[in-house]
Every structure is written in C-alpha cells, then in structure tokens.
Amino acid sequence: MTLRYSLLILAVGAWLAAMHISCTGESKQEKTPALPEDDIAKLAALPTEVPVPADNPSTPEKVALGRLLFFDPILSGHKDVACATCHHPEFGFAESLEVSIGVNGRGTGSNRDFSTLGDIPFVKRNSQTILNAAFNGLTLTGSTDASNAPMFWDIRAKGLENQSLEPIKSFEEMRGHRYVKEAALDSVVNRLKKIAEYRHLFQEAFSTSDAINSQNLSRAIAAYERTLVGGNSRFDQYMRGDRSALSINEIDGMQVFLKSGCAKCHNGPMLSDYKVHALGVPDNEKLTQSDAGVDNQYKFRTPSLRNLRFTAPYMHSGKLKTLEQVLEFYEDLAGDKIRNPLVGKPQIDPIIELLKVDFKDISLIVEFLNTLNDDQFDRTIPKRVPSGLPVGGNLN
Ligand code: HEC
Ligand code: HEC
C-alpha cells in the first residue's frame, strides 16, 4: 500500500472513530460533537515507514557508523562539539537553551555556557529536535522526495543528507577558527581518514575501500537520523482507531485546536504545512542583530507540534518558555498585538486573520498538545567514539 493511501485510511479511520463517539449519546460526549470531516481529516497518525532517498538505503552498518559520527566531536574544528552536543538524547535530541552554544562551549542543559570569553557568538536560533525530522515534508497526501525534505527554521537545506554537512561548515556551531568554511569538509574528511577504525567502518558500510568522503559522511549520519522516530504517541494511537487513547478533555482540546484555526498551518501527520509564515515572534536579545528569517520578511517554517515536551523553549528564538506562553502569544496576535516591534501589521501572515484564541481554551489546547509526545525513542549513547575524544563533545 502506498504511503498516500495509508495516510488517507488513517485519517478517515479517525474520523469514523470521532463520529462513533458522537453517536453513543452519553451526556459528557454530547458536549463533544463529532469533528467535521474536513477538520479532523487535516490531522493524521505518522506512518510506520520513514521515507528514504533512493541513493541512500539504510543498513545496520551505516546506521551504527552514523551514530558514532553523530556523537564524535572529531567533526568540529576545535574537537569540542558533536552533533549530539545540541541534539542530545537526554533532551529529546533538542536542547533546553534559548539559542545554542557550539564552539567554545561546555556543559549540558541549562548549565551549558561558553568556557572562556572569546569571539564565538551564540548560534542564532533555537535547536530543533532531530526526532521525526526524517518525516519532514510528509503531508496528508504523502511525502516529498526524502532528498528534498525541508530542513531548518528557514528551509535553507533540503534533505537530511545535505543538512548534515551544514553545521560542520558553520563558524559558531562546529567549525570555529581551525579552518575556513571552504576547507571544513576536506579537513574533517582528512581527520577521519587517519583513524583506522573509521577506515574500517566506512568500508563496511559502503562496501568500497577509500569510502571516506563528505558524501558518505552525510549518508551515514542521515541513515542514523532516520532511526530517530517517535510515532506512537497517544494521538497516533487515537488516530489509528483506539478511541480510548485520549481522554474526553484531550479530544475537546483537539477540537478547540481545530476550531481556533491552528490546523490552518499545523496540519498533516507532522502537524506542519512546511511553509514559512511571519508571526512577529520576538527576537532573542543575546543576538547582536535581529533575525529577520526568510527574505528578511520575518518568515519562519511552521514547526512540527510533535514532542513539544522536548522542544521548549519555543519558537525560532527560544523566547517563549512554556506552551501556555505560546498560546498567550497567539491570543495577543489574534487580537492584533504584535510582540516584535520590527514587524508591522501588513507583514503578519494573512492566515492569522482566521485565528481565534480564547483565553479560557488555552489549558484544553495544551492538554491536546501533550498527547503528541512519544518518549519511546532510541536513546543509545555510544560508550566511546573512534577518535577517543569525549563522547558528545565538551559536556562537563
Ligand atoms: C551548536 C549546536 C548545534 C550543533 C553542534 C548541531 N546542531 Fe543541528 N541544529 C541546531 C540549531 C540551532 C538548529 C536550527 C537552525 C536553523 O534553523 O537555522 C538545528 C537544526 C538541525 C536540523 C533540522 C531539523 C528540522 O526539523 O529542520 C537537523 C536535521 C540537525 N540540526 C542535525 C544536526 C547534525 C547532523 C549535526 C552534526 C553534523 C548538528 N545538527 C549539529 C543546533 C546544532
Ligand atoms: C499562520 C500559520 C500558523 C498558525 C495559524 C498557527 N501557527 Fe503555530 N507556528 C507557526 C510558525 C510559523 C511557527 C514558528 C514561528 C517562529 O518561530 O517565528 C509556529 C510555532 C508554534 C509552536 C512552537 C513549537 C516549537 O517547537 O518551538 C507551537 C507550540 C505552536 N506554533 C502552536 C500553535 C497553536 C496551538 C496554534 C493555534 C492557536 C497555532 N500554532 C497557530 C505557524 C502557525
């Protein structure tokens, strides 16, 4: 069965489940009429299969190599930052800082800070989670080609493979002062070639000798990332037909979410349309310059609403600490109060005109959003990495 049809069946199944609830006639449920077909059909469970690009089939060898690379700070200029530094399993492959600290940082969680005063700035945005990033681009009608999947808050990279090389080249994330941007990938590849264990592991994963190059580096990391999924939240169980998976309050919350207009942008199995919208989210004061997003129009990509437990603090700038604060932000926005003084009313996405957020509904919507968490994901951290450097970077 194709992905498109499985998704449709899931969506229709859930709609039938919702209809059924409304027909049982119990007094509590009468307050929860069936969700209109076009509304509930905007949402769907995640499929069980992750989209994979034709030129990078996953194998256990590739995934195991990708995991080692992901946790190995050998990929960073000063050998102090790994991908896992900002995307650690302990924090749901995201992190709890407003904006990330890469090169010259130390510590984890809210204790992470710069180790010495230097010229390395904060990374300009809040770290996204890698959980389910393999599904980016998936809509109700199926998936875009996995090698073209939208990545980053501003969609400046396409596909996990291409995305994975960007942090290695970025000054404040991983590169630092050791080499210039143009030399970053060659420098890292040369380092890997000097480590016998990597020579062996690349050969096993790609079945050729001399397999260490930036393309295979990106392929191994992406193959590992495709294993980082959480698609069995209580929301997914409900959408697949298990009516007992959500409480009455949570179903009410879903309905209010739909009625408020949230699903005009947060829809499909990832609760994202993958489009960019200007909402006037406040800038982070730690940056020296305002972050004006796509085309300098303050547009950012609609994030998934899955696993919000791990993606706090929220928004591209990490400026909203809790889901209640996000909902209060939308309540203000629907009432024409724009939080970012550099963004004018004409710039705000016109869809916001259709948004209606009532203060009294906030806690119900938050109850619904909490059903989208799934913490049954792979948290395996390698005991050591082939470079012998500290696993995950400078985390102490
Ligand atoms: C210093 C912290 C830091 C490091 C190190 C880092 N990232 Fe990220 N990552 C971020 C931030 C911040 C974003 C969002 C950036 C943006 O959108 O402009 C992000 C975004 C991503 C995304 C996009 C997710 C989505 O839904 O669009 C992926 C995938 C990702 N990182 C993978 C990696 C990989 C692989 C590595 C290692 C090669 C890595 N990251 C290293 C901080 C980091
Ligand atoms: C016009 C499209 C649109 C509508 C309507 C909309 N959102 Fe969003 N949402 C976005 C975009 C875009 C962002 C990221 C904005 C940014 O960072 O600048 C976002 C961010 C979020 C986040 C932060 C997620 C994270 O991990 O940081 C949450 C939570 C959220 N929205 C929930 C909602 C809820 C609940 C509603 C309904 C009350 C709603 N949204 C309505 C587009 C929309």
> How many angstroms does the Cα of residue 164 sit away from the middle of ligand 1?
8
Residue 173 Cα: closest atom of ligand 1:
1
> How many angstroms does the Cα of residue 384 sit away from the middle of ligand 2?
39
Q: Which amino acid residue places its CA nearest to atom 43 of ligand 2?
A: 265
> How many angstroms does the Cα of residue 100 sit away from the middle of ligand 1?
9
Kindly report the CATH number that applies to the domain delimited by 3-49+233-372.
Answer: 1.10.760.10
> How many angstroms does the Cα of residue 1 sit away from the middle of ligand 1?
33
For the chain, 396 residues long, give each residue's pLDDT as a single digit of tens. 445 545 544 554 454 444 444 443 334 343 444 455 456 679 999 999 999 999 999 999 999 999 999 999 999 999 999 999 999 999 999 999 999 999 999 999 989 999 988 899 999 999 999 999 999 999 998 887 999 999 999 999 999 999 999 999 999 999 999 999 999 999 999 999 999 999 999 999 999 999 999 999 999 999 999 999 999 999 999 999 999 999 999 999 999 999 999 999 999 999 999 999 999 999 999 999 999 999 999 999 999 999 999 999 999 999 999 999 999 999 999 999 999 999 999 999 999 999 999 999 999 999 999 999 999 999 999 999 999 999 999 999
Q: Is the CB of 293 under 6 A from ligand 1?
A: no
Domain ranges of the chain: 3-49+233-372, 60-225
In angstroms, the CA 251 to CA 64 distance is: 40
Longest dimension (CA), the chain: 71
CB neighbours of 116 closer than 8 A, spacing ≥ 6? 104
Same fold? 3-49+233-372, 60-225: yes
In angstroms, the CA 315 to CA 313 distance is: 7
Q: Is the CB of 330 under 6 A from ligand 2?
A: yes
Please calculate the CA angle 266-268-272 and round it to the nearest 5 degrees.
Answer: 35
In angstroms, the CA 199 to CA 75 distance is: 15
In angstroms, the CA 135 to CA 139 distance is: 9
Residue 123 Cα: closest atom of ligand 1:
12
For domain 60-225, give the fold.
Cytochrome Bc1 Complex; Chain D, domain 2 (1.10.760)
What is the pTM assigned to this prediction? 0.93
